[in-house]
Structure 1
Amino acid sequence: MSDVLYVGRKSEVFNLRLPERMKEEIKRIAEMDGISINSAIVQRLARCLREERASEQ
């Protein structure tokens, strides 16, 4: 996921409930990428938001 840059220096704490299967899938992907579950979620969310902005233009 090199196309998404995430630097978590200034961040807010946000509790998120996920279905167990989704959490396990994100955990597996994060381990494969060598990053934390939090980073994996933030990277995917950032990519989704960027794609939505691009499609609105």
Structure 2
Amino acid sequence: MNDVLYTGRKNEVFNLRLPEKMKAEIKERAAMDGISINSAIVQFLARCLREERANGQ
């Protein structure tokens, strides 16, 4: 995945509240990919932003 722009060392801290089921699903997916929950969320958000830009949104 080409999300290098979103993985720099100058990161902001952002607290996020998630429904328990959603967190469990993200945690499971992150474990399957061998990455942290934080990385899984960042990758997902980066992919969504790319798709929106590609669709002109």
Compute the TM-score of the two structures, normalised by the length of structure 1: 0.88
RMSD: 1.4
For residues 12-41 of structure 1, the C-alpha deviation after alignment (integer angstroms, 9 at most, x for no partner) is 000000000000000000000000000000
Provide the rounded CA distance (Å) in 1 between the counterparts of 2:30 and 2:38: 9
Q: Which runs of 5+ in 1 are unaligned?
A: none
Structure 1 residues 23-34: aligned runs within 5 Å:
23-34=23-34
CA, structure 1 residues 41+30, in 2 after alignment: closer, same or farther (shift >3 Å)? same
Compute the TM-score of the two structures, normalised by the length of structure 2: 0.88
CA contact (8 A) 1:30 1:37 kept: yes
User: Percent identical across equivalent pairs?
Assistant: 75
The match for 1:18 is: 18
CA contact (8 A) 1:26 1:37 kept: yes
> 1:8 Cα shift?
3.9
Q: Which runs of 5+ in 2 are unaligned?
A: none
